[in-house]
Structure 1
Amino acid sequence: MVGILLMTHAPLGSAFLQAAAHVFRAMPERLEAIDVIADQNTDQVHQLALEAVQRLNSGSGVLVLTDIMGGTPSNCCRQLGEPDQVAVIAGISLPMLLRALTYRHDTLDVVVEMALAGGQNGATRVDSRVRI
């Protein structure tokens, strides 16, 4: 099972954990969040991420989802392990996370592709004139 780490600006990661637990009616296994606070030491954040990746990796790899490219959380995701064991995607959304959780029993590459598809397909214009 692919582990999933949410590296976000506080309190987004914790909020995504709660949303996932709500949807799945329980906290999914091998899912953690690191909420980075303002002015937190980047070396400390990187170390927290390394430790989380080690905990979450059962041999299938870890997908790290961050909120925005270039922010401290995503910058601290560089060099978290072997490239075939850790993948990082910036731009987390709830559809992306739910898709990653749904397909996490597959390979890391498949989980990455499914998460990206969930993020892309989850962004849809909702128009009051269109009936669902």
Structure 2
Amino acid sequence: MVGILLMTHAPLGSAFLQAAAHVFRGMPERLEAIDVVADQNTDDVHKLAADAVQRLNDGTGVLVMTDMMGGTPSNCCRSLGDPDQVAVIAGISLPMLLRALTYRHDALDVVVEMALAGGQNGALRIDCRTRI
């Protein structure tokens, strides 16, 4: 099962963990978050991420999801290991995370594609003029 690591600006990762636990009625296994705080040493953040990737990888790989490209959390994910074993995507959303969790028994590249599709399909404009 693909492990999932959330690397975000604090406190987003922890909030996503709580939301996932709410939706799945319990904390999904092999899911962790690292909440990066302001002015945190980037070497320390990279070490935390590398250690988490090792913990989460059972040989099927790890998907690292970060909140935005170019921030400290994503910058610290650039060299976390073998690209066949670690994939990083930016722009996490709840639909993206839930889709990744749902498909994590597939291969890493499939989980990445499903997560991206969840993020793209999960962003919709709601017409507030229509009554249900």
TM-score (norm 1): 0.98
In structure 2, the residue matched to 1:43 is: 43
Q: Which residue is equivalent to 1:9?
A: 9
**Structure 1 CA distance, aligned partners of 2:116 and 2:131?**
27
Amino acid at match of 2:65: L
Question: How many Å apart are 1:131 and its aligned residue?
Answer: 4.8
Q: Deviations over 1:77-117 (max 9, x none)?
A: 01101000000000000000000000000000000000000
Partners in 1 of 2:58 and 2:93 — Cα distance? Answer: 25
1:92 aligns with 2:68: no
Percent pairwise identity: 87
Whether 2:73 is the aligned partner of 1:73: answer yes
Secondary structure of 2:89's counterpart equals strand
Q: Distance in 2 between matches of 1:14 and 1:72?
A: 17
CA offsets 1:31-60 (integer angstroms, 9 cap, x no match)? 000000000000000000000000000010
Q: Which amino acid aligns with 2:12?
A: L
Secondary structure of the corresponding residue to residue 8 of structure 1: strand
Structure 1 unaligned runs (5+)? none
**Root mean square deviation, CA, Å:** 0.8
